[in-house]
Structure 1
């Protein structure tokens, strides 16, 4: 009997790691809503039929598992509709004897007719690109220990966050300080002190005049050093070089969390 239930699952587009030079080549990645264990499954079964007592549902659930295990482990192939399961063996048998050190039992699973029907009744919605989240959650002037976005020219400054490691070959990758007039000052690689996924420490260029700057960090780091993003991502923060942030209003630089930790320069 054909199933008339319709399903929907969301997907996001991600870079195809097999074609790193083609920025337009994408694959679809399912949007996970989490994991559903036994407790969630039982709750869903209860919601389907509120007349069943929870202990009855649990008993049937456990009974099915016990019967399927017994059938499989005594040589039966099991077809539940959702899946087809069968037992197989691995390893070379020597001397005509089963050796648990060399031999093992495996169970093979294949999609069943019911699940194939559900697949045919499922609509996939593409909801956008799967972005590699990049964020700065804290800043610290290493010289003064200030966490108010103030920075000292010629001294170390630390950013803490997520996926901020400077990586990739795109010319935009790096650290740039932009003054109020739009003039950009590159923080050259020789001024990078620490470059990790959650921590970036650099020396603030000594020649910078006192003032308010926009610090722009751009990277192709994806969370996996072997698979950089095809297109760089950027995050910006306000930095007060050689001066203090305004005392009125909210927290400086849009940040109230500490960069924290030890002095990376000792």
Structure 2
């Protein structure tokens, strides 16, 4: 099956002086968890028990993780990954408050070849489209989608302002198990159409989450009857 990515034309908020400058915003097809991927694999692979396939995937992930965290670089074809250190070492001593371990990911040969053959379909222009240009963890300064509990997290983009009376309106952190943590209003530190700053709650486990922004805000100043939602992947890192 041919790969197809669909996108909507939107104004480029970076070049405000050029009204004809457009960017292409991805039309999301949804999100997949490891469970979803395993279910898709089961549809394609007959003769294997689900627990066997699950064990193989879990083992594959563990060996990659252990290899990276013991100093190996890993090249799967899909991605190339390598560990590195962050922060200045004071007095020759590792300090978890100032130093951290980062794993860097780059596209592998197999993925690059598939990207080159992927078709892009432009759907046209979409009114009041929401999108994220950049995020930043205020503790580490990293812009790779990692977030530190207890610290600020900056989201820059378009039409991000949280507003409206619908009970669904708000900012959420959704775990892999689909449990949702709604941020109280006081943890939304800055609330503007082009920039949100939130405080990441403490007490949450490390790992992947979905940041969900739901709002009735409209750039036309007419409140939307039905809230619109944007999902963005991030990873919580307690250090």
Name the SS of the counterpart of 1:61 in structure 2.
helix
1:225 maps to 193
Tell me how far apart the structure 2 counterparts of residues 41 and 111 of structure 1 sit (CA, whole Å).
20
TM-score normalised by the chain length of structure 2:
0.55
1:125 matched to 2:121? The reply is yes
Deviation at 1:19, TM superposition (A): 2.2
For these two proteins, the number of residue pairs brought into alignment is: 147
Deviation at 1:86, TM superposition (A): 0.4
1:24 matched to 2:34? The reply is no
Give 5+ residue unaligned stretches, structure 2.
130-158, 166-190, 196-218, 226-239
1:115 matched to 2:81? The reply is no
Question: Which of 95, 100, 103 is residue 99 of structure 2 equivalent to?
Answer: 103
Name the SS of the counterpart of 2:65 in structure 1.
helix
Deviation at 1:28, TM superposition (A): 0.4
Pair 8,95 (structure 1): closer, same or farther in 2 beyond 3 Å: same
Pair 234,128 (structure 1): closer, same or farther in 2 beyond 3 Å: farther
Deviation at 1:198, TM superposition (A): 2.5
Question: Which of 31, 48, 51 is residue 52 of structure 1 equivalent to?
Answer: 48
1:258 maps to none
Tell me how far apart the structure 2 counterparts of residues 61 and 23 of structure 1 sit (CA, whole Å).
48
Name the SS of the counterpart of 2:82 in structure 1.
strand
- Residue by residue over 1:225-244, the C-alpha shift from the partner in whole angstroms, topping out at 9 and shown as x without a partner, is 348xxxx74869xxxxxxxx
- Residue by residue over 1:203-243, the C-alpha shift from the partner in whole angstroms, topping out at 9 and shown as x without a partner, is xxxxxxxxxxxxxxxxxxxx94348xxxx74869xxxxxxx
1:71 matched to 2:67? The reply is yes
Tell me how far apart the structure 2 counterparts of residues 118 and 55 of structure 1 sit (CA, whole Å).
30
Supply the RMSD in Å over aligned alpha carbons: 2.9
If you compute each CA radius of gyration, which structure gives the higher value, 1 or 2?
Answer: 1
1:81 matched to 2:89? The reply is no
Deviation at 1:51, TM superposition (A): 2.5
- Residue by residue over 1:107-159, the C-alpha shift from the partner in whole angstroms, topping out at 9 and shown as x without a partner, is 111110111011011000001113217xxxxxxxxxxxxxxxxxxxxxxxxxx
TM-score normalised by the chain length of structure 1:
0.49
Give 5+ residue unaligned stretches, structure 1.
134-162, 166-195, 200-222, 237-254, 256-266
